[in-house]
Amino acid sequence: MTSMKKTTADKRLVVLNPRGCPPPIPTASMAARSRGFAGRTVYFVDVRFMNGDILLRELQKAFVETYPDARTIFRQKRGGYGEDDPQLWEEIRAEGGLMVMAIGH
């Protein structure tokens, strides 16, 4: 019986791509531009991330100075950063309002 030595050329490796094959991302069109801010309500929504309220209140002050005919409302979203707040979204929708939402550091 003869023994056969395997050489490096006889070995096969299977290499997998660690990035995987992500599914395609569907695109969506941008929202229609606002017709302006006069008579509109703009919500400044804090998601309760560290110092986001300070950032948004400063933005709100600058917005009021720039667009005095707009009404602004500051709100803190219920729950944590990633949680939904359907009541707030419905309030904004019912008001026909616009929204600025940001996180701060």
Q: Give residue 44's pLDDT.
A: 96
* Longest Cα–Cα distance in the chain: 97
Quick check: helix, strand or coil at residue 98?
A: strand
pLDDT digits (tens, 9 = 90+) for 42-90: 999 999 888 889 999 999 999 999 999 999 999 999 987 788 999 999 9
Q: Following CA atoms 70, 71, 75, 77 in sequence, which dihedral angle do they give, to the nearest 10 degrees?
A: -60
Q: What is the Cα–Cα distance from 85 to 95, expressed in whole angstroms?
A: 16
Q: What is the Cα–Cα distance from 69 to 67, expressed in whole angstroms?
A: 6
Q: What is the pTM of this model?
A: 0.66
Tokens of 58: 């400063």
Q: Give residue 72's pLDDT.
A: 96
**Domain range list for the chain:** 36-105
